[in-house]
Structure 1
Amino acid sequence: MTESKPLMLLVDGSSYLYRAFHAMPDLRGPDGQATGAVHGVVAMMRRLRDQFKPERAVCVFDAKGPTFRDEWYPEYKAQRAPMPEPLREQIPLIHEVVRLLGWPILEVPGIEADDAIGTLARVAAQQGHRVIISTGDKDLAQLVTPEVSLINTMSNEGLTEEGVMDKFGVPPNRIIDYLTLMGDTVDNVPGVEKVGPKTAAKWIAEYGSLDGVIAAAGSIKGVAGENLRKALDWLPMGRQLVTVKTDCDLHAHVTGWPALESLAIGAVDSAGLLAFFRQHGFKTWMRELEGAGVAAAGPSTVAEPTDALPPPPLQDKHYDTVTSWPAFETWLAKIQGAELVALDTETDSLNNLEARIVGLSFSVAPFEACYIPLRHAGMDAPEQLPLDEVLARLKPWLEDAARSKLGQHVKYDAHVFANHGIQIRGYAHDTMLQSYVLEAHKSHSLEALADRELGRKGLSYEDLCGKGAKQIPFAQVDVARAAEYSCEDSEMCLGVHQRLLPRIQADAGLRTVYEQIEMPTSAQLLRVERNGVLIDAERLRAHSHELGQRLLQLEAELAELAGQPFNIGSPKQIGEILFGKLGLPVKKKTATGAPSTDEEVLTELAADFPLPAKILEHRSLAKLKSTYTDKLPLMINAGTGRVHTHYAQAVAVTGRLASNDPNLQNIPVRTAEGRRIREAFIAPPGRLIASADYSQIELRIMAHLSGDEAMLAAFASGADIHKATAAEVFGAALDQVTGEQRRAAKAINFGLIYGMGAYGLASQLGIEPKAAKDYIDKYFARFQGVRAFMDETRASAKAKGFVETVFGRRLWLPEINSGNGPRRAGAERQAINAPMQGTAADLIKLAMLAVQKALDQEGKQTLIVMQVHDELVFELPEAERDWVAQRVPDLMAGVAQLKVPLLAEVGFGASWEAAH
C-alpha cells in the first residue's frame, strides 16, 4: 500500500457503538441520560482522526428495518436480542456528536453497514485511495487487499493481507469460505456443526477453497466429515449470507456517487461540541475546549457526572531492568518509600502450588516500573542477580503488613511467594476484585481493564511466548521483552487501581463488599487452597472399576433396546435410532435441522420410553467416571499427598465462589453414585471431617428481604417452614398438614426463588398446570409481602440495571430491558433470585472469615479444607470436636443480624459424606 495515496477512512459505527456500550461503565449525564456509549464513541473517533488524519472519511451505521439478507433467509439474525434500551436512547446523541466532530455519516436502508463499507472500500481503492476500515468485525477481513487494511481501534490491532493470514490461517480471499464453514451464531447463520476456526482453516489449506472442501466431502472422515455432508445443501446459502456485497447502489446516499468528494472529512464544530459536552456532562473535554478559548452558549456550570472521566493521557514510560546491586538498591529505596507499590510475579507455571519465580516487577507511580529478571535462561540472557539473595533482601518488606501492596489477582502471587517460603502480608488492594465488585458481569483481566480504564493495550503473554505447541517458557523470553511486559503489568495495574478505587469508596455498600468481604476472602482462600483435602485414591479406583463394569452392562442393555449396537457418544446415531428406527416424537431440532438429542430432549422422552432413560444413565455415569473417579487420583499433589482445588473468586456474578481443578461444587450428591464420590474425601488417622452449613438460607433471606409477616413469624417460631407454608396455602392446621401438601409447599418455596412458573411447578409435582397456578395464586394471597417484594425488585432492576444483596453487592442484569422476551424474562427471574443467592454467598464468606479468626485466636488445629455452596468443610483433631460442634454454628449464625435468625448445623464423620 502506497503511503502517498490519499486516505479513505471507513468506520464501522454499528460495531463500535455496541462495543463502546459494553466496554464503558453505566455513565449518566446531569439529567440522568445514559452516556457511556457516547463517551466511548467520542474517544474512538477523536483517536482515529488524530492518528490517521484522513482526507476522506465516513462513519457508517446500520439503518433500521430489514435487509436483502432477511429476504434470502427469514431466520437471519432471528436469535439476536434487540438493541438494549439504554443504548438505543444514545443513538441520536452518537449521530449528533459524530457530525460535530466533522465526520460524514452514512445509513443506507435495505443494506447492512458492512455492505456499504464494502462498496465504499472497492470504489475508493479503484479511484486511487488507500483504504483503512476501522472495525471489530472479523467478517470484514474478506475486504482486505493490497489497498485495503483493517484497524481495530479498541485493541489497536491492524490487519493487512499478511496479518489476516497470521490471525485466521487463511488469506483474505478465503475468509468467505472460512466463515461459511464455521457459521455465525450471532447472526443465526448455521455452518458445519462442531467446525471451528482450526478445522475450517485446515480444510481450506488442504483442499484449496470451500468448493474444494465440498468436492472432497465424501472422503473426509470422522464426525466432522459426517457433519460436513449433512450441511452440503445449506452451504451455498451460508456463503451468500456471509459475503459482504461490494456493488451496492449508493446514488441516493452519497452526493455525486461514485465520486467521493462529499465524503471529505469536515472541520470540528468546536462551539457545538462545547455545548454538547456541557449538556451531557463530559467535564474534562469541556474544560479542554474552554482552555483552547472555545465559547458556546449554554449553562455556565455542569453537574459532576459519575464515572465520566476519560482515560488519562499516555505519557513516556520509564521502565528499568534491574541486573546489578546498585540498581536493586535504588529500587528497593523507592519501594520502601512508597505509600503503595504494585507488584507482579513472572513464573514458570500456572499451578498455584508449583509455580516458581522467573522475575519480579514493581511500580511506584504511573508509567514508572522496574523488572528484576532472576531465572531467565535463554542463550542471550544477561547476568542476573541471584534469586535467593534478592528474595532474602525483599522478604522483610514483603512480609511487613504495614507496607501496602497492590496486585492483579493477588492470591496467585501470594501462592508463588509462599512456594519460596515467604508469607506475603500487606496486600491492600487487588484490581481484579475491584473490577469484580464494581461490574461483576464484565471481564476482569488486566488486559481488559487497561483497555477499558486507561485506553491502553500492552504486550500479551502470547506476544512473548507464542501459543500452542510452539509456546516457549517465560524463562526463555528475551529479557528486554520480558521487562516491557512485566513492567506494563505492574504499572498498568497501578493506573487501573487509581481509576477504580475512588468509585468503590464513593459507595458505602460497594466499599463494604470490597474491604470487608472480598479482600479478606482472598487471603482466606489462599489458606484453604494450601490446606487441601485428603483423598482415598484406592477407594476411587475401585469405584471407577465398578462404574466401568456398569457402563459395559448399560451398553449391552442399550443395544438390546435399540435392536442393534450403536455409538452412544454419537448424537447422529442416537437420533437415527430414536427418531428413525423407533419413531419417537421429535421435540426440537438443531441449527442444521437435525432432531436434537440434548439432555433436555432425552429427559422429556425418558418419562415415556426406556431407551432415552438408559442413555441418560449412561451419560451420567460416564461423566462421573471421567470427571471424578478417574481424574481425582491423578490430581493428588506429590508433595502434600492431597488434592488442592482452586477457588475462582471473580467469576460468578452472584458472588459465589467457583471451584476448579477439581470442581468440588458439581458432584451430583442427589445420586447414590455421586455420594460415593464424597466418601473418598477423608480425614487422616486421628482426625475427623466436619461439615457445617446454613439451614434453608435462601428462604431466610427471602423472609428478610420481603419482610413478609407470615414468613418472619414461621422462622421466628422455629416452625418447619414448608409445613408452615402448606398450612397457609391449603388453609390447614399446622399439625394437619399432609406429606403431599408439605411437598407441594416446598416446591413452591424453592421454585419461587428461582422464578418457577405454573408449568414448571406442574412438571415437578406431576399435576395439571391449572392446579399448579391455583397453588401459586393461593401462596401469593397468603404471602403478600413476597409478591410485593418481587414486583418492587423487578421494577427497581429495570430502572437501575442491577439488584443488590443485603450487604450492598451489585448484581448486574444486562438483559433486564431486552426487547427479546425470553431473555428479558430470564433476567427478571435472575432479579428475584440474585439478591438471595448473592446474600447467601456473602454470608458464607463472612462465616469462613469469622470461623478462621476464632481458630487463630484460640490456637486451634482445625483446618478449613473446602467451601462448597453454603457449606464449610473442616478437618479437625478428635479433641476439638466439641469446640467445632458448639462454636462453629454460633459463629456462622452471628455474622449478620437479619430479621430472622440464621441457623447453621454441623455433622461429623470419617469422610465428607459421613459428616452429612
Structure 2
Amino acid sequence: MSEEPTPHTPPSAAADAARRPTLLLVDGSSYLYRAFFAGGESMSTTLPDGTVYKTGAIRIMINMMQKLLKDFPSVYGACVFDAKGPTFRDAIYPEYKAQRSPMPDDLRSQIAPIHEVVRLMGWPVLDVPGVEADDVIGTLAVIAAQQGIEVVISSGDKDLAQLVNEHIAIIDTMSGKVRDLAGVEAEFGVPARLMVDYQMLVGDTVDNVPGVHKVGPKTAVKLLQEYGSVDALMAQADQVKGAVGENLRKALDWLPTGRQLLTIKTDCDLNGWVPDLPALDAIRLGEPQTAPLKTFYETYGFKGLAQSLGSSSPRPAAELGSSLPRPSGERAGVRGSPPSSPTHDLFSEPATEPDSPPTGESNSTTYETILTWEAFHTWLARLQAAELVAVDTETTSLDDMRAEIVGISFSVVPGQAAYIPLRHAGPDAPEQLPFDEVLAQLKPWLENPAHHKLGQHIKYDRHVFANHGIEVQGYTHDTMLQSYVLEVHKPHGLASLAQRHLGRSGIAYEDLCGKGAHQIPFAQVDVPKAAEYSCEDSDQTLDVHRVLWPQLQADAKLRFIYELEIASSEALYRIERNGVLIDAPTLAKQSHDIGSRIHALEQEAYEIAGQPFNLSSPKQLGEIFFDKLGLPVIKKTATGARSTDEEVLEKLAEDYPLPAKILEHRGLSKLKGTYTDKLAQLAHPRTGRVHTHYAQAVAVTGRLSSNDPNLQNIPIRTPEGRKVREAFVAPAGS
C-alpha cells in the first residue's frame, strides 16, 4: 500500500476551457524558494568555463512551470517575483519582515537564470519595484476578474486568500490544496472577504506583523463570527471581556497599521510593466523559444530537456482557457496527468547505472490495466527481460502479517506501468484473472534472485507476498532506505519523495477510499482508479530511484551505509517473520500478581490520603496533595493548574510517601495494560507468535523503532518489568 498520496483531478476539458479564458498567475518568489528547498539545493553542474554552478532550483522551477501550464492551459499568464529594494510597507513599518533569514547564496545565484528560462518558456516575467509580488498579482487578478476572466493563482501563500472570489481561486501545487470561496472558509473558518480582518487579529509571524496578543486562529474566528468585522470589534472593544478584551484594547492604535501592511494592493500602477491595462494582451502566454531554450538547457546541463526540444512538438498556442477548480466533487489538476497525458521527470537526465539502463526523460505516462492472459503474458515477458522492476502491492491491511493482496503493479521504465487487479469486488468490478493462477505464474520471477526488483518499503511487500507463500528474492533497492541514508532528517514516504525530488504529486489513498468510519476497503475501489493509483506508485518509485541511486553511487561511504541498511532489512524481515513465542500461562500469572499489587497500592494510598480517590485523576490528586496534605507546588501547567505530572511526582516522592505510591501504581498499571494483559492477545492466529515491526527509517539517530507491540519499552528497572521477559520463550526442544 502506498504512503502519503495527494489528490488529483485532470485539467478541465478543452471545450469547456475555450468558453472561459483564464489568467494564470504564478507567485514566482514562492516557487523559487520551494524549488530550492524541495531538493534543489543539492544539484549542480559544471558550466562550459569550468565553473561549478548550483542548478537545482532552476531545474525544479522548469518542471513546476511546465506542469502547471499543462494542468491549467491558459490564454493569459505571468510569473511574478518580488523586486529588489524596499516597498511601501517598509516605509510604514521599518520592522516589516525584519526577522526573515537572508536568502541563501546558492539560491540567489540562480534567480537571474530562473527569470531567463521562464521568459524563454513563453511566460511574461514581472518584478515591479516598490510593491511586492502579492500586490502585482492582486492588481492583475482584480482587473481580469472585473472583465469576467477566470483567474487561477498558483501559490502556497495564505495571504493571497483575501483575493478569492467567484472569479479568483488559488491552488497550492505542492499540497494539492484549493482555496476557492468554499476552500478558504473551510480552512480558516471565515469567508475570504474577512481574511484581512482575520490576519489583523492573529498577526503574521512570517512577515513580522504583530496581531492582538494571544489571539490565535480559534479566538479570531470566534470574534469575527460574533462581531462581524474588525471595525465592529474595535468599536465595541470595551464590551470584550477577559484577557482578550484587555489585549484588544492595547492593540487598538496598532490595528489600522496592521491593516495597511496586510492588505494586498489591487490598484498598483503597472502600466510601465504591463502596457495598455485593463487590456491583458501584454501578458498573453507565448510560444516557447525553442532555439534559445535548447542552448540554455545545454549550458546548464539539462541534457534530457534539450533532447526533448528536438523530438517533441511545441506546446499548442494558448488559445484555450481553463475553468476554475470546482469547490466540491472535483479537485484541482495539481498532480501530473491522467495516463495518456504528457508529463516530465524533475531532473534532466538520470545517471547511467548497472541495473537501470539510461533513457531520456519520460514525456508521457502509459498506465495499463491487465485483465486478459494475453496482456499478462506480454507484461510477464517484459518483467523477465527488464534489468530492474519497481513492484508495488495493494492490500487489505497495513498489518503486514495479515495483509492480503488485492492487486499488484509493476513499472519497468519511467512513465510506463501496469496494474493487475485480482480481488476487486466493487459493484462495477470487471472480470479479473484468477488470483491463484496469476500468483503461480508470477512466483518463479518473484523468487528468482537474478531478476532485480525495487520497492518503497520493501520489507512490507515481502511480508505481503510471503502471506501467499511467495518468498521474494532479488530486492536490490528500497527508495525509502535510499532517502533515509541521504536525508535522514526529512520524510521518507513516497509522496514526500516524489514531491521533493521529482516535483510530482500523486493520488491520495483517502481520495480513493475515504476517511474514518466511511473508509471503504481498497478492494471496493473502482478498478480504473485503483490502477492509476497503483501504477503511479510504481512509476514514481522507479523515478525516485533514478534520482537517489546515483547520489549514493557517487559517495562510497553513503553507498556502504545503504548496503548495510538493505542487508539489515533482510535480517529484520526474517526476525519479524519468525516472531517471538509467548508463554501465555506465565503472562497470566504475572498479570494476576501485578493486579494484586495494584489493588494493595490503592488501599495504601487511600489510607495515607484519609479517603478514597481516583489515583489517575490529576484534579483529585491536586486536591489531595496540595489542599488536604499541604504538599509543596513544584510547577504549574500552561493553564495555571497545579501539575501532578511524573516529574513532579518523582520530586515529591523524595520526601513524601503518597507520591511514591502513585508512581508505583502508574508504572504497574502501564505494565499490566500494555504487556502482561495484551501480549498473549497479540499472538498471530496462524503462527501463535507475536510479530513486532521494526521501523528502519524513523529515528534520525539510526536506531530501530519497535511497534505493534513495542518490545523495546518493556521496563528493566523494576522486578515486575524484568519478569515480563521470562514470558519470551523458545520452542520445546530447541
Tell me if TM exceeds 0.5: yes
Cα deviation, residue 373, structure 1 = 2.2
Please report how far the alpha carbon of residue 624 of structure 1 lies from its aligned counterpart in structure 2 after TM superposition: 5.3
CA gap of 1:180–1:380, structure 2 versus 1, over 3 A, is farther
Q: Secondary structure at the match of 2:703?
A: coil
* Residue in 2 that maps onto 1:505: 553
What's the counterpart of residue 313 of structure 1?
Answer: 362
**What one-letter code is carried by the residue in structure 2 that aligns with 1:38?**
I
Corresponding residue for 1:24?
39
CA contact (8 A) 2:694 2:704 kept: yes
1:528 is matched with 575
Kindly state the Cα deviation for residue 345 of structure 1 after the two structures are TM-superposed.
1.3
* Correspondent of 1:449 among 456, 478, 497: 497
Alpha-carbon distance, 1:474 to partner: 0.6
Shift of residue 23, structure 1, vs aligned partner: 1.5
| Alignment CA distance shift 1:489-1:2 (3 Å) | closer
Q: CA deviation at 1:648?
A: 1.6
Q: 1:415 aligns with which of 456, 463, 482?
A: 463
Alignment of 1:406 onto 2:454: yes
Residues 1:568 and 2:629 are matched in the alignment: no
Q: Secondary structure of 1:361's partner?
A: strand
Asked if structure 2 preserves the Cα contact closer than 8 Å seen for 1:437 and 1:514, the reply is: yes
Give me the whole-angstrom Cα distance separating, in 1, the residues matched to 2:272 and 2:661: 63
Report the Cα offset of residue 482 of structure 1.
1.5
Task: Answer with 372-381 or 469-478: which moved more.
Answer: 372-381
State the TM-score, normalizing by the size of structure 2: 0.70
1:706 counterpart residue number? none
Matched, 1:15 2:10: no
Deviation at 1:279, TM superposition (A): 5.2
The one-letter code of the counterpart of 1:682 is E
Change (3 A) 1:232 1:83: farther
Residue 723 (structure 2) pairs with residue 679 (structure 1): yes
For residues 632 and 207 of structure 2, the distance between their equivalents in structure 1, rounded to whole angstroms, comes to: 35
Out of 264, 274, 279, the position equivalent to 2:283 is 264
Q: Does residue 61 of the first structure (1) align with residue 61 of the second (2)?
A: no
Which residue of structure 1 lines up, in the alignment, with residue 355 of structure 2?
Answer: none
Partner of 1:126: 146
Whole-angstrom distance in 2 between the partners of 1:150 and 1:446 = 25
Deviations 1:663-715 (A, max 9, x none): 4445676xx35x74343123555x5xxxxxxxxxxxxxxxxxxxxxxxxxxxx
Cα 1:349/1:104, change in 2 over 3 Å: same
Alpha carbons 1:136, 1:152 under 8 Å: kept: yes
Distance 1:631 1:78, change over 3 A: farther
SS of aligned partner of 1:414:
helix
Query: Is contact 1:465-1:477 (8 Å) kept?
Result: yes
Q: Alpha-carbon deviation of 1:252?
A: 7.8
**Is residue 321–residue 483 contact of structure 1 (8 Å, CA) maintained in 2?**
no
CA-CA distance at 1:469 after TM superposition: 2.2
Cα shift at 1:309: 3.7
Which of residues 683, 687, 690 in structure 2 aligns to 1:637? 683
Supply the AA of the counterpart residue of 1:348. T
CA RMSD of aligned residues (A): 5.4
Q: Is the 8 A contact 1:568 1:615 kept in 2?
A: no
Alpha carbons of 1:100 and 1:367: their partners in 2 closer, same or farther (altered >3 Å)?
A: closer
Q: Distance in 1 between matches of 2:262 and 2:150?
A: 19
Is the 1:347–1:358 Cα contact (8 Å) retained in structure 2? Answer: yes
| Structure-2 separation of matches of 1:426 and 1:59 | 49
Going from structure 1 to structure 2, the CA distance change for 1:682 and 1:265 (only over 3 Å counts) comes to farther
CA contact (8 A) 1:27 1:34 kept: yes
**Structure 2: distance between partners of 1:313 and 1:346:** 25
Q: Provide the residue aligned with 1:40 in structure 2.
A: 60
Cα 1:181–1:330 shift into 2, 3 Å: farther
Please list every run of 5 or more consecutive structure 1 residues that lacks an aligned counterpart in the other structure. Answer: 215-227, 294-305, 688-875, 880-916
Of 251, 258, 261 in structure 1, the residue corresponding to residue 269 of structure 2 is: 251
Identify which range, 265-274 or 518-527, moves more after superposition: 265-274
Secondary structure of 1:682 counterpart: helix
Cα shift at 1:354: 1.2
- Alpha carbons of structure 1 residues 356 and 566: separation in structure 2 relative to 1, 3 Å: closer
Q: Deviation digits for residues 793-824 of structure 1, max 9, x if unmatched?
A: xxxxxxxxxxxxxxxxxxxxxxxxxxxxxxxx
Q: Structure 1 counterpart of 2:362, which letter?
A: P
The percentage of counterpart residues that share the same residue type is 43
Alignment of 1:198-277 (within 5 A): 209=225, 211=227, 245-247=263-265, 250-251=268-269, 255=273, 259=278, 264=283, 277=297
Pairing of 1:449-528 with structure 2 (within 5 A): 449-515=497-563, 517-528=564-575
Q: Which runs of 5+ in 2 are unaligned?
A: 1-15, 231-240, 314-345, 351-359
Q: 549-558 or 675-684: which moved more?
A: 549-558
Q: Is the 8 A contact 1:132 1:149 kept in 2?
A: yes
Go from structure 1 to structure 2 and tell me whether the alpha carbon gap of 1:365 and 1:91 turns closer, same or farther (over 3 Å shift): closer
Distance change (3 Å), C-alpha of 1:476 and 1:114: same
| Higher percent of residues as helix | 1
| Residue-by-residue CA offset, 1:113-153 (whole Å, 9 max, x unaligned) | 44553444234322443211011234534432221122334
Decide which moves more: 84-93 or 646-655.
Answer: 84-93
8 Å contact from structure 1 (residues 358, 475) kept in 2: yes
Matched ranges for 1:448-847 at <5 A: 448-515=496-563, 517-533=564-580, 537-538=587-588, 539=590, 542-543=593-594, 546=597, 568=618, 629-632=672-675, 633-634=677-678, 636-639=682-685, 640-665=687-712, 672-673=717-718, 676-682=720-726, 684=728, 687=730
Partner of 1:700: none
Partner of 1:743: none
Superposed CA offset, 1:421-478 (max 9, x none): 2222221222222233333333332223333444443322112101222111111111
Report the CA distance between 1:329 and its aligned residue.
Answer: 3.7
1:373 to 413, 421, 426: 421
Task: Say if 1:269 and 1:328 are closer, same or farther in 2 by CA, change over 3 A.
Answer: closer
Give the conservation status (yes or no) of the 8 Å contact 1:17–1:41.
Answer: yes
Q: Secondary structure at the match of 1:384?
A: coil
SS at match of 2:127: strand
For residue 426 of structure 1, the aligned residue among 467, 474, 481 is 474
In 2, the alpha carbon distance for the partners of 1:570 and 1:456 equals: 53
The one-letter amino acid paired with 2:263 is: K
Cα 1:383–1:602 shift into 2, 3 Å: closer
State how far apart, in whole Å, the 1-side matches of 2:669 and 2:692 are: 17
Classify the secondary structure of the residue corresponding to 2:269. Answer: coil
State the distance in 2 between where 1:628 and 1:187 align. Answer: 49
Per-residue displacement from partner, 1:386-425 (whole Å, max 9, x unpaired)?
A: 3333323333332222222222111001111222222222
Aligned to 2:234: none
Distance 1:617 1:15 in 2: 55
The amino acid across from 1:149 in the alignment is A
Q: Using a 3 Å threshold, how does the CA distance of structure 1 residues 98 and 343 change in structure 2: closer, same or farther?
A: closer
SS at 1:29's partner residue? strand
Give the conservation status (yes or no) of the 8 Å contact 1:343–1:362.
yes
The residue identity in structure 2 corresponding to 1:245 is T
Q: Indicate yes or no: 2:106 matched with 1:86.
A: yes
CA contact (8 A) 2:87 2:129 kept: no
Tell me which of the two structures has the higher relative contact order, counting C-alpha pairs closer than 8 angstroms and 6 or more residues apart: 2
Instruction: Determine helix, strand or coil for the equivalent of 1:630.
Output: helix
Instruction: Please state how far the C-alpha of 1:350 moved relative to its aligned partner.
Output: 0.3
Q: Secondary structure at the match of 1:355?
A: coil
Distance of 1:434 and 1:213 partners within structure 2: 51
- Of the three residues 148, 155, 158, the one matched with 2:168 is 148
Distance 2:557 2:229 in 1: 57
Read off the aligned partner of 1:106 and give its amino acid letter: D
